[in-house]
């Protein structure tokens, strides 16, 4: 049984340890900007903002110096993007006879890579637009055509399809993005710090809440489970993966447990910075102590 368990754990760790990299340029334009800027843009690589657009300087500012080798931002300027928003806003005002005070145009262009445990590599490049919170259209670099994701985009799609020079350039830009991310090697890795905490359940004196907190890890992807005697517990509640101020990440998972259960609880964590899974235990000693302490404190 123990040999089977070790083998299963190693297989599970291998399956979960795929490597992902991404580069996303994100743009947003507002037709009516009272509180927010009418134009904002930024570049995010592997969950870190590496560039942002300064409306004051009308230029891109490098946020992370160690990403200086990243591909240049797309050539379309701030004024070009605002012009597209203005054109779309006027078109819907004329065709639909509907007056909307605020229109929002968004764009995300970039590429993604995933190295799977079996050695295969998945690559994706994209240029996608959204309008007023809905998918609008996307570029197909193989056909040099645009795909309308919304009936409202048909007119714009036909115009963009005719811009053959720009479409050729976009294909070249996305190819460069793929070439860059295929050779990219992010050497930054930070191991997770794992903590396990036991608290009283708020609504049931016979229950306690076991909390696993892991923090300080990088890159973002992580697997964490609360187990009882090496068996993963059901009905766990997760905070999801959240950013820390230093660019690393944290995650919190909790589950209600019975006070009367004897055994060993642990937090099992799998992360690419680790050569093997780590486990932080809440053993029998801790379990009995916290129950006694809780009873005496009532």
pLDDT (tens, 9 = 90+) of the chain, 298 residues, equals 333 333 333 334 444 456 788 999 999 999 887 778 899 999 988 878 888 999 888 888 888 766 667 778 888 889 999 999 999 888 877 666 566 678 999 999 999 998 887 888 899 999 999 999 999 999 999 999 999 999 889 999 999 999 999 999 999 999 999 988 887 766 678 999 999 998 888 888 888 899 999 999 988 889 999 999 999 999 999 999 998 988 889 999 999 988 888 888 999 999 988 989 999 998 544 444 343 333 333 4
Q: Per-residue pLDDT tens for 172-191?
A: 999 999 988 887 766 678 99
User: Which structure tokens are listed for 206?
Assistant: 């016979």
Are the C-beta atoms of residues 252 and 225 closer than 8 Å to each other? no
**How many C-beta atoms lie closer than 10 Å to residue 176's C-beta?**
14
CATH classification number, 188-296, choose in 3.40.50.300, 2.60.40.10, 3.30.1330.10, 3.10.129.10: 2.60.40.10
* Domain boundary assignment for the chain: 17-183, 188-296
Look over the chain and give the mean of its residue pLDDT values, rounded to a whole number.
83
Are the C-beta atoms of residues 170 and 125 closer than 8 Å to each other? no
Q: At what angle do helices 164-183 and 154-161 cross, to 10 degrees?
A: 90
CATH classification number, 17-183, choose in 3.10.310.10, 3.40.50.720, 3.40.50.800, 3.30.500.10: 3.30.500.10
Secondary structure class of 42 (helix, strand, coil): strand
- Check residue 29 and give its pLDDT: 94
Strand 242-243 versus strand 145-148 pairing type: unpaired
Q: Per-residue pLDDT tens for 223-278?
A: 999 999 999 999 999 999 998 988 889 999 999 988 888 888 999 999 988 989 99
| pTM: predicted TM-score of the whole model, two decimal places | 0.68
Distance CA(238)–CA(254), nearest Å, equals 7
Compute CA distances 151 → 95, 147, 148, 156, 252, whole Å. 13, 11, 7, 10, 42
């Amino acid at each position: 049984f123990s040999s089977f368990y070790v083998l299963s754990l190693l297989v599970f760790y291998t399956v979960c340890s795929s490597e992902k990299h991404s580069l996303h340029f994100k743009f947003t334009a507002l037709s009516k900007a009272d509180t927010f800027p009418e134009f904002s843009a930024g570049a995010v690589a592997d969950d870190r903002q590496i560039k942002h657009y300064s409306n004051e300087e009308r230029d891109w500012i490098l946020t992370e110096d160690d990403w200086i080798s990243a591909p240049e931002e797309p050539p379309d300027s701030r004024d070009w993007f605002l012009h597209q928003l203005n054109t779309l806003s006027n078109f819907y005002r004329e065709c639909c006879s509907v007056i909307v005070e605020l229109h929002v145009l968004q764009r995300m262009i970039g590429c993604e890579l995933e190295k799977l445990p079996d050695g295969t590599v998945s690559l994706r490049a994209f240029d996608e637009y959204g309008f007023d919170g809905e998918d609008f259209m996307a570029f197909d670099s193989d056909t040099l055509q645009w795909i309308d994701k919304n009936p409202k985009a048909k007119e714009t799609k036909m115009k963009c399809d005719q811009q053959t020079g720009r479409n050729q350039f976009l294909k070249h830009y996305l190819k460069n993005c793929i070439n860059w991310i295929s050779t990219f090697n992010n050497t930054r890795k930070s191991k997770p710090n794992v903590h396990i905490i036991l608290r009283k359940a708020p609504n049931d004196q016979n229950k306690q809440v076991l909390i696993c907190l892991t923090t300080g890890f990088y890159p973002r992807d992580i697997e964490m489970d609360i187990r009882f005697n090496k068996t993963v517990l059901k009905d766990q509640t997760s905070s999801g993966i959240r950013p820390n101020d230093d660019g690393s990440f944290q995650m919190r998972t909790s589950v209600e447990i019975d006070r009367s259960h004897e055994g060993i609880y642990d937090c099992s964590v799998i992360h690419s910075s680790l050569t093997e899974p780590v486990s932080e235990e809440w053993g029998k000693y801790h379990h009995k102590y916290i129950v006694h302490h809780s009873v005496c404190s009532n």
